[in-house]
């Protein structure tokens, strides 16, 4: 198997090493290309560019494979929990009983945000988007931990990671309560991660939320399925910020902002808005699909397509099945689920989608479950951020642990004005 690639340029040829990953995928190592040839590569959107070597998550887009630390997502979805999977992603292996207990206890010990942060919530207008609040409050929370500031503190990583993973849930629930003018509900130390989130979201001072096992399991599955996804836009953002040796909270806050976009994590909110619109117009989906195929419509079939998956997103398959079982258990029938299934069926027969290998992705069905649980649409991407937090922490840790880690600083091809003289104001038109 060739371990070299040859580049011919301006009559010269350059030998470049070929790196082979543990799943036999190949990459041409161009780290010396500019030194050797004076030229760089250009790859708009990084569709062909590996930014790093990572051992956290493997995706095979052609075969629709997703594995966290080598374990297939289907097995984790069936047998694991979000917090056990978080440990797997962050520390590289499944925890023993005592390790899982200690990790869970650390999350409980760090579930409260500093009491003074309550006043920060009062500064947001009631209709502030919870993703803006989440990003701001993650950074605000770091101000209460001086140990986070300054050089990356490896000894304190475990507690910083537990604090971030636990508090992201508390901040999200508190922002929901404030947006509805409801009193904030503190976490219960006896509740586990996802149950506690539901408690903080939906309990009241006079009455605890009735925690249905099906609901807690469905939300825990949603968190687990979103936990990592190799070098997606928001995880790459976290690595970009971490590469400058900014702290964990700053890196995660940046990840929240990248995730917010409708082409990324914001798609789950956009999917429900799309399905609601289709339902309201009495469209059987065909009108919308026609618009999604028309470049001039400005519409896309949200929740469909993926930069890496050119096959069915394995997470979408799992969530679709969970939709049926969760809605059945809750005795809910949601017309939007029927519309989603009709859209999928029509699109997967339509040459436009088939030729472009556009399949449902993780966002296509996830909102249906979140609606059934009672999570408001504007919180959908916040749920995605809570789920993705272990993946961001794991990628931050890879950079922190890499003694050869360098600041991310891509080059560019300059296409602007060539050299011009300065024109004094009085001589300008």
* Residue 264 contacts ligand SDX per CB under 6 A: yes
Q: Of the ranges 21-29, 122-130, 186-194, 302-310, which one interacts with ligand SDX (CB under 6 A)?
A: 302-310
Q: How far is CA 91 from the centre of its chain?
A: 19
Name the residue nearer to ligand SDX (CB basis): 198 or 362.
Answer: 362
DSSP helix/strand/coil, 57: strand
How far is residue 111's CA from residue 194's CA, in Å, rounded to a whole number?
A: 12
Of the candidates 306, 313, 334, 401, the residue annotated as catalytic is 306
How far is residue 99's CA from residue 184's CA, in Å, rounded to a whole number?
A: 31
* Residue 369 contacts ligand SDX per CB under 6 A: no
Task: Indicate which single residue of 133, 215, 253, 267 sits in contact with ligand SDX (rule: CB under 6 A).
Answer: 267
Q: Of the ranges 4-12, 186-194, 272-280, 295-303, which one interacts with ligand SDX (CB under 6 A)?
A: 295-303
B/e letters for 197-210, b = 16+ CB within 10 Å, e = fewer, are: bbbbbbbeeeeebe
What residues contact residue 143 under an 8 Å CB cut-off, 6+ apart? none
For the residues of 25-43, what is the DSSP string, one character each?
Answer: -EEE--TTHHHHHS-----
Q: Of the ranges 116-124, 141-149, 300-308, 374-382, which one interacts with ligand SDX (CB under 6 A)?
A: 300-308
Task: Indicate which single residue of 301, 323, 369, 370 sits in contact with ligand SDX (rule: CB under 6 A).
Answer: 301
Q: Of the ranges 5-13, 100-108, 145-153, 259-267, which one interacts with ligand SDX (CB under 6 A)?
A: 259-267
The residue with tokens 């502030």 is: 128
How far is residue 396's CA from residue 243's CA, in Å, rounded to a whole number?
A: 8
Closest CA to 223 of 114, 76, 100, 19: 76
Least distance from ligand SDX to the Cβ atom of residue 295, Å: 7
Task: Indicate which single residue of 77, 292, 319, 339 sits in contact with ligand SDX (rule: CB under 6 A).
Answer: 292
Q: Of the ranges 147-155, 193-201, 299-307, 366-374, which one interacts with ligand SDX (CB under 6 A)?
A: 299-307
* Residue 302 contacts ligand SDX per CB under 6 A: yes
* HSE value, Cβ hemisphere, 13 Å, CA-based, for 398: 24
Interface characters, 147-186, with ligand SDX (x: CB under 6 A)? ----------------------------------------
Name the residue nearer to ligand SDX (CB basis): 110 or 268.
Answer: 268
Name the residue nearer to ligand SDX (CB basis): 175 or 237.
Answer: 237
What residues contact residue 193 under an 8 Å CB cut-off, 6+ apart? 82, 83, 104, 107, 166, 169, 220
Number of residues that bind ligand SDX (CB under 6 A): 22
Task: Indicate which single residue of 67, 178, 300, 397 sits in contact with ligand SDX (rule: CB under 6 A).
Answer: 300
Q: Of the ranges 131-139, 237-245, 305-313, 413-421, which one interacts with ligand SDX (CB under 6 A)?
A: 305-313
What is the helix (H) or strand (E) element at residue 213, kind and residue range? helix 213-225
Name the residue nearer to ligand SDX (CB basis): 232 or 326.
Answer: 232
What residues contact residue 233 under an 8 Å CB cut-off, 6+ apart? 258, 259, 261, 263, 264
Q: Catalytic: 306?
A: yes
Question: Minimal CB distance to ligand SDX: which residue?
Answer: 305
What residues contact residue 377 under an 8 Å CB cut-off, 6+ apart? 269, 272, 273, 367, 371
The residue with tokens 């600041």 is: 407
Biggest CA-to-CA distance, the chain: 79
Closest CA to 338 of 405, 284, 387, 273: 284
Q: Catalytic: 220?
A: no
* Residue 90 contacts ligand SDX per CB under 6 A: no
Of the candidates 220, 228, 313, 363, the residue annotated as catalytic is 363
* Residue 357 contacts ligand SDX per CB under 6 A: no
Least distance from ligand SDX to the Cβ atom of residue 362, Å: 5
**CA-to-CA dists, residue 259 to 1, 170, 386, 403, angstroms:** 38, 19, 11, 28
Least distance from ligand SDX to the Cβ atom of residue 370, Å: 15
* Residue 307 contacts ligand SDX per CB under 6 A: yes
* Residue 67 contacts ligand SDX per CB under 6 A: no
Least distance from ligand SDX to the Cβ atom of residue 233, Å: 6
Which tokens sit at 325? 């079982």
How far is residue 286's CA from residue 279's CA, in Å, rounded to a whole number?
A: 12
Name the residue nearer to ligand SDX (CB basis): 103 or 365.
Answer: 365
Q: Which residues are catalytic?
A: 306, 363
Residues found near ligand SDX in the complex (CB under 6 A): 45, 229, 232, 263-265, 267, 292, 300-308, 356, 358, 361-363
């Amino acid at each position: 198997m060739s371990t070299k690639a040859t580049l011919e340029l301006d009559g010269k040829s350059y030998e470049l090493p070929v790196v082979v990953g543990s799943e036999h995928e190949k990459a041409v190592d161009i780290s010396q290309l500019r030194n050797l040839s004076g030229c760089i590569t250009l790859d708009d959107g990084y569709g062909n560019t590996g930014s790093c070597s990572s051992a956290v998550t493997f995706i095979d887009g052609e075969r629709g494979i997703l594995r966290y630390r080598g374990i297939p997502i289907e097995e984790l979805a069936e047998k694991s929990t979000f917090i056990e999977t978080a440990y797997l992603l962050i520390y590289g292996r499944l925890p023993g009983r005592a390790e899982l207990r200690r990790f869970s206890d650390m999350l409980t010990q760090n579930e409260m945000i500093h009491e003074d942060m309550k006043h920060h919530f009062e500064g947001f207008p009631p209709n502030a988007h919870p993703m803006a609040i989440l990003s701001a409050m993650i950074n605000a929370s770091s101000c209460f931990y001086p140990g986070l500031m300054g050089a990356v503190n490896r000894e304190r990583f475990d507690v910083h990671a537990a604090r971030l993973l636990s508090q992201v849930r508390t901040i999200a629930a508190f922002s929901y309560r404030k947006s509805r003018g409801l009193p904030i509900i503190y976490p219960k130390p006896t509740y586990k991660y996802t149950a506690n989130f539901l408690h903080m979201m939906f309990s009241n001072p006079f009455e605890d939320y009735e925690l249905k096992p099906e609901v807690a399991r469905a939300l825990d599955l949603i968190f687990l399925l979103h936990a990592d996804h190799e070098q997606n836009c928001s995880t790459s953002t976290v690595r970009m910020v971490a590469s400058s040796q900014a702290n964990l909270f700053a890196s995660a806050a940046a990840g929240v902002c990248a995730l917010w976009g409708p082409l990324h994590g914001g798609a789950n909110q956009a999917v429900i808005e799309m399905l609601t619109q289709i339902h309201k117009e009495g469209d059987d989906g065909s009108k919308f699909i026609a618009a999604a195929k028309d470049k001039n419509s400005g519409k896309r079939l949200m929740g469909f397509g993926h930069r890496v998956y050119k096959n069915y997103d394995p997470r979408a398959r799992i969530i679709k099945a969970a939709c049926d079982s969760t809605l059945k258990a809750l005795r809910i029938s949601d017309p939007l689920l029927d519309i989603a299934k009709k859209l999928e069926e029509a699109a997967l027969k339509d040459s436009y989608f088939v030729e472009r290998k556009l399949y449902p992705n993780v966002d296509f069905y996830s909102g249906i479950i979140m609606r059934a649980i009672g999570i408001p649409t504007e919180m959908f991407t916040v749920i995605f951020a809570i789920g993705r937090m272990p993946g961001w922490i794991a990628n931050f840790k890879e950079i922190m642990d890499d003694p050869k880690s360098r600041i991310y600083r891509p080059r560019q091809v300059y296409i602007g004005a060539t050299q011009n003289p300065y024109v004094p104001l009085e001589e300008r038109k």
